[in-house]
Amino acid sequence: MVVSASPSSARAAGSLEAAGQSERSPFARLTELLAPYQPGEKLINLSVGEPQHALPGFVGEVLARHIADFGRYPMAKGIAPFREAAAAWLMRRFALPRTPDPDSEILVLNGSREGLFLAAVAAARYVGPRSGTPAILLPNPFYPAYAAGTRAAGCEAVFLPTTRANGFLPDLDSLDAATLARTVAIFVASPANPQGSVATTAYYVKLKQLADRYGFLILSDECYSEIYTREAPRSALQAAGDDFRNVAVFQSLSKRSNLPGLRVGFVAGDANFLQAYHELRNVAAPQVPVPLQHVAVAAYADETHVEENRRLYRLKFDLADQILGSRYGYQRPAGGFCLWLDVAAFGGDEAATVKLFRDGGVRVIPGSYLARSQPDGSNPGAGYIRVAMVQDSETTAEALHRLVRVLA
Ligand SMILES: Cc1ncc(COP(=O)(O)O)c(C=O)c1O
């Protein structure tokens, strides 16, 4: 059933979110914070999670081979070879109960960002009326597209604090029946950005039971799944049964294959939801150029470049282990490529960010910019900085040495 929020309820939903600065891009806020200062040393930018490792070697050749396809409008759902490659990769990587059907259970995305945003809008229409104000649950801190999508969907954003105390994953036991009964969808991210925490299969099983019982969707952001230290992170699809009901997972080549500019990802999961989502995408989503989908086919067929990528990140975490030790509450995260450092003792996250930039030329982002205030006024990101280890090893080591010197 299609339900669209009335403008007044959308306005009400918007007003339920914290007003002011928090609506804005964390990076726009960071630019403003640092505008009055000059970097004290040659700038090292560790604020944006844009991978700087080399592109896979095959990109140019595949693009050249398919150049004529720039003369065609791409279909919203993606070319069959791409959907087949994505389905086969999911099966190989996660040993699912069965291979997702490329025709009904996979759609190409123009990177996972737009996919996550539009999924919230599609979810509100697909799930239909709830018992109470429709809500979307979000981890807090969170990737900004989740909140933007929630707002566009006319739903109330319910922020679930992810803190050291709960292992940096939303505490499912804290959710009361009234909230679950009005839930349209929950966003989960594993590995999580910014903390790098990873959900276990048991976590996904519990979440799936709640989703089935209360009839909401799990929107599982798994774009960091290939960047991990020891064990390969699990997928929500592994706990989604044989029909993947109520589960949609989001993947991307941006982090896995160092192709953030390619803008290719995919969604996989519940065929009924994907049908509704595709109808919206067919009129509203950015399509993915066909030659780029062919590059993605080659990328999903190759794991060598992914292993090399993981090796490079592991080397940088080895450096962080050595240089940071246990300072700032540092613990090597299970996944992702960010450090989430407690700098409360250095005047708070904004003050530490300014000091690092002004005295050390290192640009990071305050944790509070990646989060919203909870109803009790606390901000679960406050007191932390996020350091994205996207530069090469030498530059990263230099930045971490400066960090330890400046925040001493
Ligand atoms: C947690 C998370 N999800 C999704 C994205 C979107 O990535 P892309 O649109 O490049 O696939 C990012 C990008 O930084 C991210 O950190």
The 10s digit of each residue's pLDDT in 100-111 is 999 999 999 999
Distance in Å, CA 408 to ligand 1 centroid: 32
- Residue having the nearest C-alpha atom to atom 6 of ligand 1: 113
Distance in Å, CA 405 to ligand 1 centroid: 31
Answer yes or no: do 366 and 348 share one domain.
yes
- Residue having the nearest C-alpha atom to atom 13 of ligand 1: 49
Answer yes or no: do 169 and 283 share one domain.
yes
The pLDDT of residue 24 is 83
Answer yes or no: do 207 and 117 share one domain.
yes
- DSSP secondary structure code for residue 292 in this structure: H
Q: What is the pLDDT of residues 220-259, one digit of tens each?
A: 999 999 999 999 999 999 999 999 999 999 999 999 999 9
Nearest to 370 by CA among 141, 185, 78: 141
Domain contains 4: no
Domain termination site, one of 266, 301, 336: 301
Distance in Å, CA 112 to ligand 1 centroid: 6
Answer yes or no: do 251 and 279 share one domain.
yes
Of ligand 1's listed atoms, the one at least distance from the Cα of 116 is 4
- Residue having the nearest C-alpha atom to atom 2 of ligand 1: 143
Those residues of the chain that have pLDDT short of 70 are 1-22
- Side-chain-side CA neighbours of 125 within 13 Å: the count stands at 18
Q: Which residues contact 86 (CB under 8 A, 6 or more apart)?
A: 102, 106, 108, 251, 266, 268, 296, 300
**CATH number of the domain within which 384 lies:** 3.90.1150.10
In angstroms, rounded to a whole number, what is the distance separating the alpha carbons of residues 191 and 388? 14
- DSSP secondary structure code for residue 213 in this structure: H
In angstroms, rounded to a whole number, what is the distance separating the alpha carbons of residues 154 and 297? 36
Answer yes or no: do 36 and 76 share one domain.
no
Give the residues surrounding ligand 1 with Cβ less than 6 Å away: 49, 111-113, 143, 189, 193, 221, 223, 252, 254, 260, 265
Number of residues that this document lists for the chain: 408
Answer yes or no: do 68 and 200 share one domain.
yes
Answer yes or no: do 263 and 317 share one domain.
no
The pLDDT of residue 22 is 62
The pLDDT of residue 162 is 97
Answer yes or no: do 138 and 68 share one domain.
yes
Residue 106: strand pairing partners: 268
Answer yes or no: do 284 and 362 share one domain.
no
Domain contains 1: no
Answer yes or no: do 141 and 230 share one domain.
yes
The pLDDT of residue 19 is 41
The tokens of 375 are what?
Answer: 């109803």
Domain contains 129: yes
**CATH number of the domain within which 90 lies:** 3.40.640.10
| Edge-to-edge strand ranges of the sheet holding 338-342 | 338-342, 384-388, 365-366
Domain contains 348: yes
- Mean pLDDT score across all residues of the chain: 94
Domain termination site, one of 252, 271, 301: 301
Domain contains 5: no
- Residue having the nearest C-alpha atom to atom 14 of ligand 1: 49
Distance in Å, CA 113 to ligand 1 centroid: 6
Q: What is the pLDDT of residues 119-165, one digit of tens each?
A: 999 999 999 899 999 999 999 999 999 999 999 999 999 999 999 99
Distance in Å, CA 116 to ligand 1 centroid: 9
The tokens of 288 are what?
Answer: 């993915």
Distance in Å, CA 386 to ligand 1 centroid: 15
Of ligand 1's listed atoms, the one at least distance from the Cα of 114 is 9
Domain contains 397: yes
Domain contains 2: no
Domain span holding position 157: 59-301
The tokens of 250 are what?
Answer: 């989001």
3-class DSSP string for 44-72: EECCCCCCCCCCCCCHHHHHHHCHHHHHC
The one-letter amino acid code at 158 reads V
Answer yes or no: do 388 and 354 share one domain.
yes
Domain contains 77: yes
Nearest to 386 by CA among 18, 30, 42: 30
Q: Which residues contact 317 (CB under 8 A, 6 or more apart)?
A: 229, 332, 389
In angstroms, rounded to a whole number, what is the distance separating the alpha carbons of residues 381 and 366? 8
Domain total of the chain: 2
Answer yes or no: do 254 and 364 share one domain.
no
- Residue having the nearest C-alpha atom to atom 15 of ligand 1: 143
Domain termination site, one of 267, 301, 335: 301
Element (H, E) at 184: strand 183-189
